[in-house]
Amino acid sequence: MAGIAGPCSSGLLFRSREAGSINGASMAQFDGLRQVETMHMPVNGNKSNGLGFTSAPKCRIIKAMASSTVSAPKRETDSKKRTVITGMGLVSVFGSDIDTFYNKLLEGESGITLIDRFDASTFSVRFGGQIRDFSSKGYIDGKNDRRLDDCWRYGIVAGKKALEDANLGPEVLQTMDRTRIGVIVGTGMGGLTAFSAGVESLIQKGYKKISPFFIPYSITNMGSALLAIDTGLMGPNYSISTACATANYCFYAAANHIRRGEADIMVVGGTEAAVMPTGVGGFIACRALSQRNDEPHRASRPWDKNRDGFVMGEGAGVLVMESLESALKRGAPIIAEYLGGAVTCDAHHMTDPRSDGLGVSSCITKSLEDAGVSPEEVNYVNAHATSTLAGDLAEFNAIKKSMIGHGLGAAGGLEAIATIKAINTGWLHPTINQDDLEPAVTIDTVPNVKKQHEVNMERQSDTCIVAQWNKCSTLRSGVMLKGLWNGMSVGAGYDVITVS
């Protein structure tokens, strides 16, 4: 996860608002980015700023201004099809509180440490973004908690936290039509610990000693299934597994379910727990990991000439996506709007990206078209940039066109949350450990120190390591887009893009 400030042309779009009156929410009608009319609306919920963010650093007012040479974008106006973000939840190496997570990113703190979950002393890579002191208390009952793979524990907790953030707790859900609420929580690797334990039992003790949970807790759809079982959500439910692009694929699919009228609300994101012998060993075999064992906190260094691979991370990031009509009807706190998306494939190599970035750049173009956003409107990118030799430059080529490790299937979810926070706070988190920038990289990468930035449009980028799938989604945080603001008061907004 790395930041780029400046013009770009891609991805998952968010837009933010400026805070004003705290007595209610406002809805404003806009023609393009020009306000036409405003009407005051009451808002339900107890969030101090209508967006669910309270402790992030304050900043000056941020204004969104469309270029005078850019025509007003043609965007969706049907409130049944417009898709907004009403809740966020995560589990990360920095804990499970969103404000703490983003504040640590802003301070440039590294969560990368030596691995102590297993004996890694014989491994050529002995560090990663290992989560410690994780607690599922209040979210998973003790019996199931002991059985579950960490991948599913992270996903369930992040999912339930997102529902809470969206004012969709158990009591509220019981009053709703849960056949209209679905779940798509993807994963790149699935229940890797459960799978490894099952294989070990087979080899050492024979098939009769394999746990009956071996298959259920290994397969990738269990994140969505278990969360739905716990919450009674009966809408569309499945998993997507496209490596690092997983979560953004899930956002794209969920938004399309809402656009087609198949669901009103979707709980969506990614989860991963691969900091274990099979996961670390497998990526060592791929020669994909940094081997900077003497200084793990400085190992992930996007676009630095001395980068030597990515750092394994883990966690979960989940959003609640909802039709605008549903969100307004129940007085939900709107924190972002999904504008559009696209999916492509490099069709090139299992692990190496196309050097010309064509797969990513075409995905960016299609996403912008779907979102009704002009490239000139984008001036911030939350890049995927995982510190690999080929991947970082390929992504940069597509654009001109470090701190938590690489979360694989969870990456898109965690990065989407960071993207929304960047827009709503006006602070961009730094790209840490950037000491010697690649000469070919000629954009502002926000090196080492956080930065205040007036954001017109933001993009988050995720491109998977296997088969090179590309995913671009367009959201906006704060929610003003050809028509609607739902927050404390009417104000300026921004758009943001994210690409996987």
Domain layout of the chain by residue ranges: 87-483
Is the entire prediction scored with pTM above 0.85? no
Q: Which neighbouring-strand residues pair with 403?
A: none
Radius of gyration of the chain (CA): 21
State the average pLDDT for the chain.
76
pLDDT reported for residue 270: 95
CA distance 457 to 179: 35
Of 316 and 445, more confident? 316
- The HSE-up count of residue 374 (CA atoms within 13 Å, CB side) is 15
CA distance 55 to 364: 33
Active site residue 453: no
Q: Please tell me which residue in 250, 257, 363, 406 is annotated as part of the active site.
A: 406
3-state DSSP helix/strand/coil percent for the chain, to nearest 5?
30, 20, 50
CA distance 364 to 470: 9
Instruction: Kindly report, residue by residue over 132-171, the tens digit of the pLDDT.
Output: 999 999 999 988 898 999 999 999 999 999 999 999 999 9
Q: Please tell me which residue in 257, 384, 429, 453 is annotated as part of the active site.
A: 384
CA distance 174 to 59: 39
Per mean pLDDT, which range of 10-19, 263-272, 446-455 is the poorest?
A: 10-19
Active site residue 349: no
Per-residue confidence at 481, pLDDT binned at 50, 70, 90? very low
Q: Which neighbouring-strand residues pair with 359?
A: none
Mean pLDDT calculated for residue range 202-223: 95
pLDDT reported for residue 402: 39
CA distance 283 to 388: 12
Cα distances from 296 to residues 75, 117, 124, 284, 476, in angstroms, run: 45, 16, 13, 15, 35
Instruction: Kindly report, residue by residue over 379-411, the tens digit of the pLDDT.
Output: 777 776 777 777 777 777 776 653 445 556 667
pLDDT of 3 strictly over 70: no
Fold (CATH) for 87-483: Peroxisomal Thiolase; Chain A, domain 1 (3.40.47)
pLDDT reported for residue 450: 81
Per-residue confidence at 16, pLDDT binned at 50, 70, 90? very low
Cα distances from 267 to residues 87, 119, 130, 449, in angstroms, run: 9, 36, 25, 33
Mean pLDDT calculated for residue range 293-306: 87
Burial label for 70, CB within 10 Å (0-12, 13-18, 19+), is middle
Helices (H) and strands (E) in the chain, counts: 12, 16
pLDDT of 38 strictly over 90: no
Q: Please tell me which residue in 151, 244, 363, 472 is annotated as part of the active site.
A: 244
Spell out the residues 6+ positions from residue 212 whose beta carbon is closer than 8 angstroms to its own: none
Active site residue 384: yes
pLDDT reported for residue 214: 94
pLDDT of 187 strictly over 50: yes
CA distance 411 to 251: 13
Token pair in block for residue 6? 């400046």
